[in-house]
Structure 1
Amino acid sequence: MEVRIGVQNVAREISFESNQGVDEVTTVIAAALKDGGYLTLSDDKGRSYIVPVSALGYVHLGEAEKGRVGFGTA
């Protein structure tokens, strides 16, 4: 799943692929917002992303877009 995180006062967003499901990530985000500490997520390569909740702008969750191959019509 694709995860994009917007951080306040930063022009670039953090974007990565995660093996976690939408429900799992949503639960982690809700817990971080409730606690007011840090949002910690991991990508599909084992790297961790830690963002202070106070600097969090948005989190966009979506399916990974699979590349299309060939000339056929869908």
Structure 2
Amino acid sequence: MEVKIGVQHAPREIVLESDLSAEELESIVTAALSGTAPLLSLTDNKGRKVLVPSDRLSYVDLGEPSVRKVGFGAL
């Protein structure tokens, strides 16, 4: 699943692919926003860990990964 994270005072968003389900990601984000967890901690498909302070989150967008189109066939 594709995750986009907006951080306050940062010009670019953080984009990563995660193997977690939408429900698992939503519970992690909810814990960070409610103050239960001081950091939003996510690990992507390649093992890269992303830590964002909860008080600096602007938005978190959970969406399906976009499928690449390969070849020259008709659409």
* TM-score, length of structure 1 as denominator length: 0.90
Q: Distance in 2 between matches of 1:21 and 1:40?
A: 15
Aligned to 1:26: 26
Q: Deviation at 1:69? A: 2.3
Q: Distance in 2 between matches of 1:8 and 1:36?
A: 18
Deviates more, 1:30-39 or 1:48-57: 30-39
Contact 1:3-1:18 within 8 A present in 2 as well: yes
Map 1:1-74 onto structure 2 (within 5 A): 1-34=1-34, 35=36, 37-70=38-71, 71-73=73-75
**Among the aligned pairs, what percent are the same residue?**
44
Contact 1:32-1:39 within 8 A present in 2 as well: yes
Q: What is the number of equivalent residue pairs in this alignment?
A: 73
Q: SS at 2:60's partner residue? A: strand
Q: Deviation at 1:31? A: 1.1
Q: Distance in 2 between matches of 1:68 and 1:29?
A: 31
Instruction: Point out where structure 2 has 5 or more consecutive residues left out of the alignment.
Output: none
Instruction: Point out where structure 1 has 5 or more consecutive residues left out of the alignment.
Output: none
* Displaced runs of 4 or more, over 2 A: none
Q: Deviation at 1:36? A: 5.3
